[in-house]
Amino acid sequence: KNQVEQSPQSLIILEGKNCTLQCNYTVSPFSNLRWYKQDTGRGPVSLTIMTFSENTKSNGRYTATLDADTKQSSLHITASQLSDSASYICVVSAGYFGNEKLTFGTGTRLTIIP
Amino acid sequence: NAGVTQTPKFRVLKTGQSMTLLCAQDMNHEYMYWYRQDPGMGLRLIHYSVGEGTTAKGEVPDGYNVSRLKKQNFLLGLESAAPSQTSVYFCASSYSERGGLETQYFGPGTRLLVL
């Protein structure tokens, strides 16, 4: 059974600090991994998409890493801002071309305090 | 360009009542999806559509029906609502197949409470 586990469940940090969110997955065969940001009361918004061959991908202050050997990904947020307060969801795609399936993690709830 | 919109934003139903959730997208996307999001669980796929006139079952289809009569619209129906269907429902769309490298764009969600 495909599984995506995220840690921590919740995190509180001071504005301006950095943080790293973790994602471990058990899927086969791996296709790609995505990180989404979900503001309270809104739909998820895509941050990054990484394939098997990509180790790092950045989107502004967000940097995602992928280690396909250990089946781990992380999302690093640099110089956090109040607007970064949200849930961050790791999503892994598994399957062969034309028959992929997405498995969603339960998310990490990040709170930035001034 | 509104992206993906959902109607209604919030609804309260009594057990056994029926309703239809409407999703509309103006990006000319082929693929559309309905998900539900429950506390402590990741989003789960209910039904999806790979094009106008086609629909397919997702991970948790029981108790729901869908229709895609027009490319821009994807309707989710609950024929006889049950308390277990209390959830937040998200519609999403993408240009090509799910799981591919195409980004899924999500709507703002519909909060449904079944009493």
Mean pLDDT, rounded, of chain A: 94
- What pLDDT, on the 0 to 100 scale, is given for residue B89? 98
Residue B99 and residue A46: Cβ atoms within 8 Å? no
Q: What is the pLDDT of residues A1-24, one digit of tens each?
A: 889 999 999 999 999 999 999 999
- In chain B, which residues have their Cβ closer than 8 Å to the Cβ of A107? 42
Mutate to test the interface with B, among A104, A108, A109 (most CBs of B within 10 A): A104
Residue A94 has pLDDT above 60, yes or no: yes
Residue B41 and residue A107: Cβ atoms within 8 Å? no
Min Cα–Cα distance to chain A from B78, Å: 21
Q: What is the pLDDT of residues B27-74, one digit of tens each?
A: 999 999 999 999 989 999 999 999 999 999 999 999 999 999 999 999
Q: For every residue of chain B, which 3-state class applies, written as one string?
A: CCCEEEECCEEEECCCCCEEEEEEECCCCCEEEEEEECCCCCCEEEEEECCCCCCEECCCCCCEEEECCCCCEEEEEECCCCHHHCEEEEEEEECCCCCCCCCCEECCCEEEEEC
Contacts of B106 (CB under 8 A, 6+ apart): A43, A44, A45, B4, B90, B91, B92
Residue A98 has pLDDT above 70, yes or no: no
Of the candidates A104, A108, A86, which has an alpha carbon nearest to the alpha carbon of residue A6?
A: A108
Amino acid at B113: L
- What pLDDT, on the 0 to 100 scale, is given for residue A96? 74
Residue B43 and residue A46: Cβ atoms within 8 Å? no
Residue B59 main-chain phi, psi, to 5 deg: -75, -35
Min Cα–Cα distance to chain A from B51, Å: 14
- What pLDDT, on the 0 to 100 scale, is given for residue B73? 97
